[in-house]
Each structure stands twice: as structure tokens, then as C-alpha cells.
């Protein structure tokens, strides 16, 4: 199963991918997480990613596609994947189709999590994560356990998240017609408790 979890920044893609990946028995592939890992390692590529990410801009397609090609060649992705935060441009969607076709695969479903922009600002500015496990929390909606030291992403300010949302509307929303034309898109209301949203996704997938 190759599934695209689509939606604006902070819609809950990462949170929900973790909740459904075991059932689907495929890994979550988050380009954002891979870029943050490269940034932490301080590699030249990581520094390049940082320039774009800190400003809330999309990283150029060529760099993202290089990363994806390498990730898809790993054994755990041989049966499928949940793509989280990818593809984000029409060029990325077309390149993903080609990469999967070479492996005899194709995108099976696209689930769009729909969340209004003001909820997104609230969710993103309240997001915290455990630097060791990567587990994501929210200060009010999914609070971290007492005593756990959590960190905030540096692009999770109101100013940067509004910029990321503009990028989503300008460059990422135009990806949907690519999948709509193939009849693959299911739209899911992303507002509600974490469990409610998981159930809606499962229903949309028929899982």
C-alpha cells in the first residue's frame, strides 16, 4: 500500500501516520523529518535545508527528490509507504509516480486532512516534541508526560507557519488535481480528537 497523507502544515499528518502505520504494515516517510535529521548532523546538505526551512519556504525539488530516491531504496520501504509531507509540488508528484513505476508500484490512495488556518496556527505554535524519541505532543491537546523535557521546532512560530501555509496554498494544493484525476483522493475532516480523526482516516481507507 502506498498512501499519501496530504494536508497543510500542522494538520496532523505526522501524528496520524504514526497511528496507522502498524495496521498498514508500511513505514512513514516524512521528508520534513529526514531534512531535520540532516540539519542536526550539520552536513552541507543539512545546512542548505535549514536556509529554506527556517524561512518557511519549500526546499527545491531536486534536493527533495534525491532524498526520496535514497529512502525508497531501503528494504523497509519495499512493500509500500505512508508519504507524509511529500509530494509538495506537481513536479514531486510526477517524479514519485515515475519512481514507484520503476518499482512496479503506484500511489493507491491519497487522504487529505482538512484543517482551517486558525486551528493550524494554534496547533503548530503549541507543538512540542521529545528530542530523543521524536514523539510529538501539544501543550494542550496532547500534553507530554510530566517531567519530560520537550523542545519546540524553530519553524513553529506564528510568522513562519503563516508563510508555510501560503506555500501550501500556492505550490502544494495544485498537487491535488493530479491525484483527483485518478480518482484517488479522500477528504477527511481533521478537526476533532486524535482518536476521532484516526477513525475517519481508517473509514476513508476502508481499513
Using the contact rule CB under 6 A, the part of the chain among 55-63, 73-81, 104-112, 174-182 near ligand AP5 is 55-63
How many other CB atoms sit within 10 Å of the CB of residue 190?
Answer: 26
64 contributes a contact to ligand AP5 by CB under 6 A: yes
Known active-site residue 164: yes
Sign of CA dihedral 40, 160, 198, 70: negative
Closer residue to ligand AP5 (CB): 46 or 126? 126
| Residue-by-residue DSSP string for 108-166 | -EEEEEE--HHHHHHHHHTEEE-TTT--EEETTTBPPPTT---B--TT-SHHHHHHHHH
197 contributes a contact to ligand AP5 by CB under 6 A: yes
SS3 50: helix
Question: How far apart, in whole angstroms, are the C-alpha atoms of residue 51 and residue 170?
Answer: 20
The beta strands (E) that lie in the chain are given as: 2-6, 28-30, 81-84, 109-114, 127-129, 136-138, 185-189
Binding mask 76-115 for ligand AP5 (x = CB under 6 A): ---------xx-x---x-----------------------
Among 3, 4, 12, 188, binds ligand AP5 (CB under 6 A): 12
Enumerate residues 133-172 that contact ligand AP5 by CB under 6 A: 136-138, 141-142, 164
Closer residue to ligand AP5 (CB): 104 or 175? 175
* From 39, 71, 88, 128, the catalytic residue: 88
Known active-site residue 105: no
Closer residue to ligand AP5 (CB): 57 or 109? 57
Question: How far apart, in whole angstroms, are the C-alpha atoms of residue 203 and residue 207?
Answer: 6
Question: How far apart, in whole angstroms, are the C-alpha atoms of residue 73 and residue 22?
Answer: 20
31 contributes a contact to ligand AP5 by CB under 6 A: yes
Known active-site residue 36: no
Active-site positions read: 13, 88, 127, 153, 164
> Which residues of the chain form contacts with ligand AP5 (CB under 6 A)?
7, 9-15, 31-32, 35, 52-53, 56-59, 64, 85-86, 88, 92, 123-124, 126-127, 136-138, 141-142, 164, 192, 194, 197
Amino acid at each position: 500500500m502506498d498512501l499519501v497523507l496530504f494536508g497543510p502544515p500542522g494538520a496532523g499528518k505526522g501524528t496520524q501516520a504514526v497511528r496507522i502505520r502498524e495496521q498498514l504494515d508500511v513505514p512513514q516517510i516524512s521528508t520534513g523529518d529526514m531534512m531535520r535529521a540532516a540539519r542536526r548532523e550539520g552536513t552541507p546538505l543539512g545546512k542548505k535545508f535549514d536556509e529554506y526551512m527556517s524561512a518557511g519556504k519549500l526546499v527545491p525539488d531536486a534536493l527533495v527528490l534525491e532524498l526520496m530516491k535514497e529512502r525508497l531504496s531501503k528494504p523497509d520501504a519495499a512493500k509500500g509507504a505512508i508519504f507524509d509531507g511529500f509530494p509538495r509540488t506537481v513536479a514531486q508528484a510526477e517524479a514519485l509516480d515515475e519512481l514507484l513505476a520503476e518499482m512496479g508500484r503506484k500511489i493507491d490512495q491519497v487522504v487529505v486532512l482538512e484543517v482551517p488556518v486558525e486551528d493550524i496556527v494554534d496547533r503548530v505554535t503549541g507543538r512540542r516534541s521529545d528530542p530523543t524519541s521524536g514523539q510529538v505532543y501539544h501543550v494542550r491537546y496532547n500534553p507530554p508526560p510530566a517531567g519530560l523535557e520537550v523542545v519546540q521546532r524553530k519553524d513553529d512560530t506564528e510568522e513562519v507557519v503563516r508563510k508555510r501555509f501560503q506555500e501550501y496554498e500556492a505550490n502544494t494544493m495544485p498537487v491535488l488535481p493530479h491525484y483527483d484525476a485518478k480518482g484517488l483522493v479522500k477528504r477527511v475532516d481533521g478537526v476533532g480528537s486524535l482518536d476521532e480523526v484516526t477513525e475517519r482516516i481508517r473509514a476513508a481507507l476502508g481499513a
